Amino acid sequence: MKHVVDSIPAWLADELSDRESTEFQGHLKQCQACAAEARAQRELWVLLGDVGARTRAQVEGVSVWPEVRARILAEDSGGGWFFGNSPWIRSALATGAVACGIMLGVVMPGSRSGTPASIAVAEDEGLEISWIAESSWLAEDAAGEMAELWFNSDLADDGGGS
Amino acid sequence: MQGSRKPDDDTLMVRTAQGEEAAFRLLVQRWEHQVQAFLLHMLRSVEEAEDLTQETFIRVYGQADRFRVEGRFQSWLFRIAGNLARSRLRRRKILSWIRFDPGTHDVADRGPGPIENLERADNAEAVRLALAELPQRQRQALVLHRFQGLSYKEIADSMETTLPGVESLIQRAMAGLRNELAGKVEGS
């Protein structure tokens, strides 16, 4: 015989289908252990209902509307709601932020690499130095390539600083 | 719960998104006590429950233009309130660690003082205390169902879980309550 203890809360909550409910009640008639457990849980269920009613009574009569309204107005007047309620504005701002992040993460490392100085040197010495694709910075031998370019140009003594 | 001539929640949300204050006010007044009662059960603090009730409706207003009209306002509302309650409980836990207060987990006032010991004679208070001892998700599911009247399906939506998941949470919550209340409440 399969016990139905696990189904007691669903039965109390009226969440069993008609067929399940019929089977459940049929089992209770035959099984004293399950019937006793069902009685105990029903008492607890009723007690919970009483607690719920007491809590509702505790909060009745108090309205949060004035505070909610005041807080919304305060945030609206102060440019709140993340610069507006429009999802378009929020999306545009989010996209802009992501784009800025990409710029900082991808473009800026290239501009910090001393490229402007290299260009100045190239102009002086007549060397052809092409822009290095960003992906090459990620290649394992990128540092080696840079060092090779550096020494081959006989400019290492200049320090590349000016 | 709602009279036939009153606008439903979805309609009120659409009107709120269009900037109609009266619609939002009606929505707040319709649900505020249920939300506050739910938060009171979750947090056991009147002040915090009131504060987070306000916060819940401010978020509802802030997200009104993104609300999808699907007839599931109640689930969505309690999802917001539940998330806020979870965050607050997490914060309490972190604060209790920082303050080296191992006795305080997610219940603010669970230490049984002399007055509280007297109150324990009251069955309702004993049940409230036992509820506070339940794991947070079990408590949330049970409170949403038994106190706020949400169906298992609505709870599943609200807690972003499955129907069997809700069933299991409520089952374990009832078992936990029975254990906690054994010998404390007449008839338990």
Higher pLDDT, B56 or A4: B56
Q: B7-102 sits in which CATH class?
A: mainly alpha
- B158-163 — which CB contacts under 8 Å span 24+ positions? B158/B74, B158/B75, B158/B76, B158/B78, B158/B79, B158/B82, B159/B79, B159/B82, B160/B79
Higher pLDDT, B128 or B95: B128
Distance from CA of A29 to the nearest CA of B (A): 21
| Residue-by-residue DSSP string for A93-107 | HHHHHHHHHHIIIII
C-alpha to C-alpha distance for B82 and B159, rounded to whole angstroms: 8
Would residue A65 count as lying in a domain?
Answer: no
pLDDT tens digit string along A5-24?
889 999 998 889 999 999 99
Residues of A in contact with B66 (CB under 8 A): 87
Would residue A90 count as lying in a domain?
Answer: yes
* Burial environment of residue A35 by CB neighbours within 10 A (0 to 12, 13 to 18, 19 or more): middle
Mark whether A89 and A53 lie in a shared domain: no
Residues of B in contact with A69 (CB under 8 A): 21, 25
- Quick one: pLDDT at residue A138? 43
User: If pLDDT is split at 50, 70 and 90, which confidence band does A50 have?
Assistant: confident
Pick from B33, B54, B171: CB nearest A9: B171
Best of A39, A64, A65 to substitute, by most chain B Cβ atoms within 10 angstroms, is A64
* Mean pLDDT, chain B, whole residue set: 83
Would residue A67 count as lying in a domain?
Answer: no
- Quick one: pLDDT at residue B94? 80
- Quick one: pLDDT at residue A160? 39
Would residue A96 count as lying in a domain?
Answer: yes
Which B-chain residues 130-159 have CB contacts (< 8 A) with chain A? 131, 142, 145-147, 151-152
Please state the ipTM of this predicted complex.
0.73
Three-state DSSP string of B115-173: HHHHHCCCHHHHHHHHHHHCCHHHHHHHHHHHHCCCCHHHHHHHHCCCHHHHHHHHHHH
Q: What is the mean pLDDT of residues B42-46?
A: 91
Residues of A in contact with B138 (CB under 8 A): none
Both tokens of B89, joined, read 């409980």
Mark whether A32 and A95 lie in a shared domain: no
CATH topology of domain B111-188: Arc Repressor Mutant, subunit A (1.10.10)
Residue-range domain boundaries for chain B? 7-102, 111-188
| Residue-by-residue DSSP string for A9-68 | HHHHTT-S-HHHHHHHHHHHHH-HHHHHHHHHHHHHHHHHHHHHHHHHHHHTT---HHHH
- Quick one: pLDDT at residue A139? 42
- Quick one: pLDDT at residue A159? 40
The verdict on A17 touching B (C-beta cutoff 8 Å) is: no
Pick from B29, B33, B173: CB nearest A59: B33
Lowest mean pLDDT among A54-63, B91-100, B173-182: B91-100
Cβ of A59 within 8 Å of Cβ of B36? The answer is yes
Both tokens of A126, joined, read 């007549």
Higher pLDDT, A84 or A64: A64
Would residue A64 count as lying in a domain?
Answer: no
Q: What is the mean pLDDT of residues B2-21?
A: 84
Would residue A150 count as lying in a domain?
Answer: yes
- Quick one: pLDDT at residue A53? 87
- Quick one: pLDDT at residue A152? 52
Which A-chain residues 76-115 have CB contacts (< 8 A) with chain B? 81, 85-87
- Tell me the residue range of the domain where A15 lies: 5-59
Mark whether A105 and A49 lie in a shared domain: no
pLDDT tens digit string along A73-90?
888 775 444 444 555 666
Tally of domains within chain A: 2
Pick from B29, B37, B171: CB nearest A59: B37
Mark whether A103 and A147 lie in a shared domain: yes
Would residue A68 count as lying in a domain?
Answer: no
Q: What is the mean pLDDT of residues B86-111?
A: 64
Mark whether A90 and A151 lie in a shared domain: yes
Would residue A47 count as lying in a domain?
Answer: yes
